[in-house]
Chains A and B, each alone.
Chain A
């Protein structure tokens, strides 16, 4: 037993030192939310139970271990020759949970040996078998001790637990010790926010993302330690589903292997293949699926930052976009003077310096300003706001790209320059409320500009329009047309906007849901700067368009200009009879 404890302690010290030596994470306060997260995600097993059978399997084992914990002390007292009368109710309770644990283990064996889900591809299967065996032995020895009796079984029970303890921190089952910590450290507010890099610090503190394990933040280290290789992230990943190199699971495992080996090699190239970090669309499906609150996007963006800013190595086709965001203030290099061209006919007010602030600043975004297909959404939104009598205005040529694609590509310089410029314009203009058309702009304005001195109340246009319909300022009419709604990742997942667009569609048509919707939505393929990168293999937008067509709906409603363009392309590709239109456009049409 001492030997087992020694092995455990030695490893625990090694791992603790790694965590303590990592860079601090920027995760402020939010104590009540963290307590709630612990209760729901850890004790309540909320994320695991999203998949009912495997979730229940894990819950049985997890709850069983919590209930059975005191038996270790009781067995130890027995072995030491002491006498404790175990209360009958506890004996009965622990018997019930011991059996539940066995049921859990048996289910796990069936899942792993018979069902063999694809999400385990690349996981260490042997390790899992060993752990399941040990768990079974722990409760079997307990049951024998309870029902056959004798100090021998108490000994056996303790020895198995000792071996389990010694093995645990050397295996992926380390999550038993770290998962609760990881859940505690995870984002609770502003989930779509990336942590900014600080460029105004002394040289030795300057950090350009993550090159080697020495650059990882504490959260990133605990993320890596917490991965159980369950593969729920891999299952949810649109890049993986369409045959890309990226698997969020293998990425985190790669980081962990580098940490365990204490490697000084760059992570990209040794632990993680280069393609993996560029395949990601930052849709957040992996983060949403992860039962232990691993935040994969942070790893990917940090690795991208280092590759792009330090090594100048990134998919070269994205270079014009980065240059254009920086020089032309929009990702297509269009003249800024044309930005408000769509609004001229509608008589939308363009804010001039010194003008009084409107109630709402309408942040149009580059796509809806310049893209022929996406413009329709801006026109519809503006018409609706006019009809409802909302006092609003646009910045016109002084609105610049928020910097989102540059930031998600890893170019923090270009992003921060864009952010500072836009915040200065917005603050000079005295803007307090913003309505944004593009979910990417919306996320950046609402969650990220606060780090650069810009705090505003930000709504997505579907939120404001839903409010206007509810208050009766807009009166849409209903139709028999069937509509399926595609949730944008940056609305549904990163910002919890799922109800309002549906409220609007419920009023104007007959909604049908796709297989993957709401928080479980499947990306259009354009996020994380992928609008400006080439896609290898089969295409995410085509896969999604096929899924939309399967609903049999006549209209595919979207709420993001990038989704509009991607899915319109996808629909043409699969040759479906499906009209792609923004919720705002559909609402405007229903008023006629």
Chain B
């Protein structure tokens, strides 16, 4: 019997589909707040040939706990299992690894979007007593405006031209007015003006906004690589030679310290 932990996400259907190719499936879930150590204890107490979950952050965490409790090996992000041989995805999909999985029960999670989704069918709710281990109490959205950089429709970004951490006040103001997120270039995070989470670029976040406002950003290739997902780019820079203008749809050659507050003031005026 294959024990499958089912969560509320769409990946669980894929995990169930995979598990049915291995044997008879018993799908289980838990009520209440996510508490991985306690849930894992309940899973580990069940009789099963294998314990399977989706290769999500939660699924992997849960099975890692089960592995620790049972002292058995755990294979994450598996795409096939043949006897003791597993093939699994490493490295965000660029590498497939073949390995032996010799534990009992076999513990594995299923790599997301590698299996067709199946009807989950009956799900049994298991009881997991609160053992005082860490659990989720509440969920708080990250980033001040409540908009994540990756998903924001508008991103207002500052570069070296902003000049200081305090200088970002006008950038934040404009982002707030547009209901967008604040971003920045690598120079800014290197200088410690903003956290790395705000960085747009090849080594930061790749955005997909409708509008990207680049203020005082020269436009290094590594930055453009993160901004190219934006539908329109508006660049504000004093240097007409700045590489950012090669990628921009709209260009303002001027000092952001004048231009950005002027845009904010105009927005306020229009909105009354």
Q: Which residues of chain B have C-beta atoms less than 8 A from A352's C-beta?
A: none
Kindly state whether residue A319 has any CB partner on chain B within 8 Å. Answer: yes
* Inter-chain contact A534/B189, CB cutoff 8 Å: yes
CB neighbors of B among A369-417 (8 A): 370-374, 413-414
One of A144-152, A232-240, A320-328 contacting the partner: A320-328
Query: Known interface pairs A371-B243, A372-B246. Does A565 touch B202 (Cβ–Cβ under 8 Å)?
Result: no
Q: Among B92, B186, B196, B222, which residue has its beta carbon within 8 angstroms of that of A319?
A: B92
Q: A224 near B: Cβ within 8 Å?
A: no
Tell me if A312 is interfacial: C-beta within 8 Å of chain B.
Answer: yes
Contacts of A533 in B (CB 8 A): 203
Chain B residues with CB below 8 A from A319, complex form:
92
User: Are the C-beta atoms of B90 and A312 separated by less than 8 Å?
Assistant: yes
Given contacts A413-B95, A572-B218, contact A534 B203 (CB under 8 A): yes
B160 and A572 contacting across the interface, CB-CB below 8 Å? yes
CA distance A371 to B202 in the complex (A): 13
- The docked-state distance in angstroms from the alpha carbon of A320 to that of B94 is 11
Tell me whether B187 and A569 are in contact (CB under 8 A). Answer: yes
Are A565 and B221 in touch, CB under 8 angstroms?
yes
Q: A323 touches which one: B92, B203, B243 (CB < 8 A)? A: B92
Q: How many A-B residue pairs have CB under 8 A?
A: 63
Shortest Cβ distance from residue A530 to the other chain B in the assembled complex, whole angstroms: 10
Distance, CA A573 to CA B188, complexed state (A): 11
Bound CA–CA A318/B222 (angstroms): 11
Q: Which of B157-181 contact A (CB under 8 A)?
A: 160
Instruction: Determine whether the beta carbon of B190 is less than 8 Å from that of A321.
Output: no
Residue of B91, B160, B196 with most partner-chain A CB within 10 A: B91
Bitwise interface map of A from 29 to 45 toward B, beta carbon under 8 Å scored 1, else 0: 00000000000000000
Check A155 for interface membership: any CB of B closer than 8 A.
no
Determine whether the beta carbon of A532 is less than 8 Å from that of B91. Answer: no
Residue from B206, B219, B222 within 8 A of A531 (CB atoms) = B222
A319 to B203, CA, bound (A): 8
A307 to chain B, nearest CB (A): 12
* Shortest Cβ gap from A578 to chain B (Å): 15
Q: Which A residues are in CB contact (< 8 Å) with B186? A: 534
Q: Do A573 and B160 form a contact, CB below 8 Å, given A413-B95, A532-B222, A534-B186?
A: yes
Chain A residues lying within 8 Å of B90, measured Cβ to Cβ, are: 312
Say yes or no: is B230 at the interface (Cβ < 8 Å to chain A).
no
Q: Mark B36-55, 1 if CB is under 8 A from A, else 0.
A: 00000000000000000000
Question: Residues of A contacting B225 with CB < 8 Å?
Answer: 320, 324, 332-334
B190–A372 touching, CB < 8 Å: no
Write the nearest CB–CB distance from B150 to chain A, whole angstroms: 13
* Chain B residues, CB < 8 A from A532: 202-203, 222
- Report Cα–Cα, A565/B190, bound state, in Å: 16
| Residue A107, interface by CB 8 Å | no
**Number of A interface residues in the complex (CB < 8 A):** 33
| Given A323-B92, A572-B160, A332-B203 contact (CB < 8 Å) | no
CB neighbours (8 Å) of B202 from chain A are 320-321, 324, 331-333, 532
Nearest-CB residue, chain B, relative to A323: B94
B204 within 8 A of A: yes
Q: How far is the CB of B138 from chain A (nearest CB, A)?
A: 27
Number of interface residues of B (CB under 8 A): 24
Question: Per-position contact with A for B62-93: 1 when CB-CB < 8 Å, else 0?
Answer: 00000000000000000000000000001110
What sequence of 0s and 1s flags, for each residue 217-238 of chain B, a beta carbon within 8 Å of any chain A beta carbon? 0111110110000000000000
**Bound complex: CA A317 to CA B94 (Å):** 16
A305-349 contact mask (Cβ, 8 Å, vs B): 1 or 0: 000000010000111111110110001111000000000000000
**CB proximity of B257 to chain A, nearest CB, Å:** 17
Bound-state CA distance A327–B95 (Å) is 12
Contacts of B246 in A (CB 8 A): 372
Residues on A with C-beta less than 8 A from B190 are 534-535, 539
**Would you call B222 and A312 a contact (CB within 8 A)?**
no
Give CA–CA (A414, B206) in the complex, Å.
Answer: 22
Q: Which residues of A contact B187 (CB under 8 A)?
A: 569, 573
Per-residue A-contact encoding for B139-152, CB less than 8 Å = 1, 0 else = 00000000000000
Give the nearest-CB partner of B206 in chain A. A320
- Decide if A367 is an interface residue (CB 8 Å cutoff): yes
Q: How far is the CA of A160 from the CA of B196 in the complex (A)?
A: 60
CA distance A82 to B187 in the complex (A): 77
Q: In the complex, are the beta carbons of A569 and B94 less than 8 A apart?
A: no
Whether the pair A371, B196 counts as a contact (CB closer than 8 A) is: no
Cβ A312 vs Cβ B91 within 8 A? yes
Shortest distance from the beta carbon of A534 to any chain B beta carbon, whole Å: 6
State A333–B220 Cα separation when bound (angstroms). Answer: 14
Which residues of B sit under 8 angstroms from A323, Cβ to Cβ? 92, 94
Shortest C-beta distance, B95 to chain A (Å), equals: 7
Q: Is the CB of A534 within 8 A of B94?
A: no
- Annotate A357-377 by CB proximity to B: 1 below 8 A, 0 otherwise: 000000000010011111000
Q: Which residues of B are found within 8 Å of A327, using beta-carbon distances?
A: 94
Closest to A371 in B: B221
Q: A371 — which chain B residues lie within 8 A by C-beta?
A: 220-221, 243
Query: Can you list, as one digit per residue, whether each of A89-104 has a CB less than 8 Å from chain B (1) or not (0)?
Result: 0000000000000000
Can you spell out 8 A-B residue pairs with CB atoms less than 8 angstroms apart?
A312-B91, A320-B206, A371-B220, A372-B221, A531-B222, A565-B220, A565-B221, A569-B187
| Extra pairs beyond A373-B220, A532-B202 (20, CB < 8 Å) | A312-B91, A320-B206, A323-B92, A324-B202, A332-B221, A332-B222, A333-B202, A367-B221, A371-B220, A371-B243, A372-B221, A372-B246, A533-B203, A534-B186, A534-B196, A534-B203, A539-B190, A569-B218, A572-B160, A573-B187
Residues of A at under 8 Å CB distance from B? 312, 317-324, 326-327, 331-334, 367, 370-374, 413-414, 531-535, 539, 565, 569, 572-573
Q: Name the 6 nearest CB pairs between A and B, nearest first.
A: A372-B243, A317-B203, A371-B221, A332-B225, A372-B246, A332-B221
